[in-house]
Amino acid sequence: YQESATPSIIVSEQNIAVGAQGEAIAIEVKGNINATPHIPSEIDWISEVSTKAWSTNTYYFLINPNESYESRTATIAFVNEDNGLNESVVITQMQKNAIVIATNSYSFNNNGGTFSVEINSNVDFDINIENDWVKQVETKGLSTTNIHFAVAKNESYDNRETIISFISKDKDISQEIRVYQSQTNAIIISEKEKTISPSGETFDVEIRANVSFDVIMPDVDWVQKIETKALTPNTLHLCVKTNDSY
pLDDT over 80 (residue 234): no
77 burial level (CB within 10 Å; 0-12, 13-18, 19+): middle
Top pLDDT among 111 and 208 is at 111
Top pLDDT among 190 and 112 is at 112
Question: pLDDT tens across 187-205, in order?
Answer: 888 888 888 888 888 888 8
pLDDT classification of 231: cutoffs 50, 70, 90: very low
Average of per-residue pLDDT across 210-222? 86
Question: pLDDT tens across 153-172, in order?
Answer: 999 989 999 999 999 999 98
Q: Which of 221, 222, 225 shows the shortest CA–CA distance to 238?
A: 225
Quote the pLDDT of residue 144.
55
Cα–Cα distance measured from residue 57 to residue 64, given in angstroms and rounded to the nearest whole number: 23
Cα–Cα distance measured from residue 155 to residue 184, given in angstroms and rounded to the nearest whole number: 6
Average pLDDT, the chain: 86
Quote the pLDDT of residue 223.
87
pLDDT over 50 (residue 112): yes
Cα–Cα distance measured from residue 154 to residue 159, given in angstroms and rounded to the nearest whole number: 8
Quote the pLDDT of residue 1.
43
pLDDT over 50 (residue 137): yes
pLDDT over 60 (residue 2): no
Average of per-residue pLDDT across 117-122? 89
Average of per-residue pLDDT across 217-235? 76
Which pairing describes strands 85-93 and 15-18: parallel, antiparallel, or unpaired? Answer: parallel
Share in percent of the chain as helix, strand, coil (round to 5): 0, 45, 55
Quote the pLDDT of residue 45.
96
pLDDT classification of 143: cutoffs 50, 70, 90: very low
Distant-in-sequence, close-in-space partners of 136: CB < 8 Å, separation ≥ 6: 127, 129, 147, 148, 149
pLDDT over 80 (residue 142): no
Average of per-residue pLDDT across 174-183? 94
Question: pLDDT tens across 37-51, in order?
Answer: 999 999 999 999 987
Question: pLDDT tens across 62-110, in order?
Answer: 999 999 988 999 999 999 988 889 999 999 999 999 998 989 999 999 9
Half-sphere exposure of 33 (CA within 13 A, CB side): 18
Quote the pLDDT of residue 246.
63
The vertex-161 CA angle with 155 and 162, nearest 5°, equals: 115
